[in-house]
Amino acid sequence: MPMMARLSDAPISTKHVVEIARCLRGKELKKAMAFLERVIEGKQAVPFKRYNRDTPHRKGMGPGRYPKKASSYMLKLLKDALNNAIQKGMNPEKLFIKRIEVGMAISKHRRARRGLGKRTHVLVEVEERD
């Protein structure tokens, strides 16, 4: 039975989260968390497949970026999913990311910046595999 974690109305770019989700989908949970930590440190880039206009190429891949803010929110979400799974008695070493859904939220008017803020909904499902 899969475990879920949800992030609603996060103030992060939907385009960045879509590219991060593409990298993480189907990966082992521990490896995905390590990948996000390397992105936050600036040691590994996230390959951009769809939203890559004017994006520079990175070593060993095509166009890529280091979306640090979106990666930190995704890392927190994966830690929440891990804690939920441990609470239900699942083995943390056998957890894989089954599903990641990313959706645009309603942009809220932000007074300080006088513009529309970026908002994103993210849903992560992890399940135990042998």
> In this predicted structure, what is the pLDDT of residue 1?
80
Pairing of strands 64-65, 95-104: unpaired
- 3-state SS, residue 107: coil
Report the sign of the C-alpha dihedral through residues 31, 36, 38, 39, in that order: positive
* pLDDT 10s digits, 78-130: 999 999 999 999 999 999 999 999 999 877 665 555 556 788 999 999 999 98
Give me the architecture of the 3-128 domain, per CATH: Alpha-Beta Complex (3.90)
Q: Which helix (H) or strand (E) holds 65?
A: strand 64-65
Quick check: pTM over 0.85? yes
What are the tens digits of pLDDT across the range 6-48? 999 889 999 999 999 999 999 999 999 999 999 999 999 999 9
pLDDT of residue 59: 83
